[in-house]
Amino acid sequence: MPDKITHSKAECSKDTRQTKIPKMPVYSCTCGEAILIIPDIPAMNEAIKAHLTKHRKITSQVLTEDALTQEILKKIAEQHPLL
Ligand SMILES: [Zn+2]
């Protein structure tokens, strides 16, 4: 039922607003997409791989896993100079 789904979605976002969620670091790609930087290497790898496909669709440019990983690591280093 579409109505029910819409309703529960609204309820959910309302709850999310009330509960303070710590802001996660995000990598903003050159294609305009944001990739959430999470302290979970396998999950992060999955996000990177998923973005490679997305990135190619958005920009028609091939982005390699290595290049994207390097860019994200650079971003982390900028945000956390002590790491
Ligand atoms: Zn991208």
What pLDDT digit, counting tens, does each position of 46-77 carry? 999 999 999 999 999 999 999 999 999 998 88
Ligand 1 center to 58 CA (angstroms): 8
C-alpha pair distances (Å), 62 with each of 35, 42, 44, 51, 80: 17, 22, 19, 11, 28
pTM listed for this prediction: 0.66
Q: How far is CA 70 from the centre of its chain?
A: 15
State the pLDDT confidence band at 25, using cuts at 50, 70 and 90. Answer: confident
Ligand 1 center to 22 CA (angstroms): 24
Residue 32 reports pLDDT greater than 90: yes
Ligand 1 center to 7 CA (angstroms): 32
